[in-house]
Amino acid sequence: MKISVIQPDTVWENKTHNFQSLTRLISSLYNNTDIIILPEMFNTGFSMKPAELSESPDGETFGWMKDIAERGNFGVCGSYIVKEGSDFFNRWVFVSPDHGTWHYDKRHLFSMGGEDRLFAHGKSRLIFSFRGIRITPLICYDLRFPVWSRNNDEYDLVIYAANWPAVRQNVWTTLLKARAIENHCFVAGSNRTGTDGEGILYSGESMIINYRGGLMAFAETEKECSISAEISIAELHDFRKRFPVMNDADTFTIDL
């Protein structure tokens, strides 16, 4: 499977501009990849204005994703603000070219940015299969909590959609590699670049990592771009058989 990570310079709270920019970045990958991976809140930036920017589950952004997925013959995924009932969610959505959909609501809300006061916590993980690959998605701050991503031979690829600031970029790089190594899986991390409406700088450094923690693809710093890599499930399964670390792992349950 070929996966592609998009690293945009997201314009603050401007959906129209961001859809146009992302369409341009993605267009060269039509019929040339299996999955397009977008950052957290890819249509607005990490805004704490959910009442103004949220959409229904089948709103404008979902419609754009369906159109792109169908035109490009690939799955498209990333997070944006969704309202259901009276609650707002930082929701990661995956749309396949035949309009199959899956979603995950961010579990660990960034309290230091006020996200926990405005958004509802997600209550469950998501694991699903697409073109023979078992996938689990997580969003930004989730990366700091390894228990939530623990892999008991349930998935092959973990996707992190993020708006991860440049000031903590070393943490981003270190933890993405750690999640790949400890979970014996491929990791794809999509981060934005540029400066948001709060003056926060993002350097990007999106990446795709293999199950040994090795870099398969790495985006340039502070530059809009896309990166791609071929991931082999056969090679992953062979590695897990030859080095079955998870057989010695601790067992536990998570209280939600």
pLDDT at position 56, please?
A: 98
Q: How confident is the model at residue 252, as a pLDDT?
A: 83
* Domain range annotation of the chain: 2-245
Q: What would the pLDDT profile of 30-74 be if each residue is shown by its tens digit?
A: 999 999 999 999 999 999 999 999 999 999 999 999 999 999 999
By annotation, the residues acting in catalysis are 40, 106, 140
Q: Burial level of 220, CB count in 10 A (0-12/13-18/19+)?
A: middle
Among the listed residues 64, 71, 5, the one whose alpha carbon sits nearest the alpha carbon of residue 35: 5
CATH number, span 2-245: 3.60.110.10
Report the pLDDT averaged over residues 119-136: 97
The 3-state secondary structure of 59-73 reads CHHHHHHHHHHHHHC
Average pLDDT over every residue of 80-100? 97
Q: What percent of the chain has pLDDT over 90?
A: 96
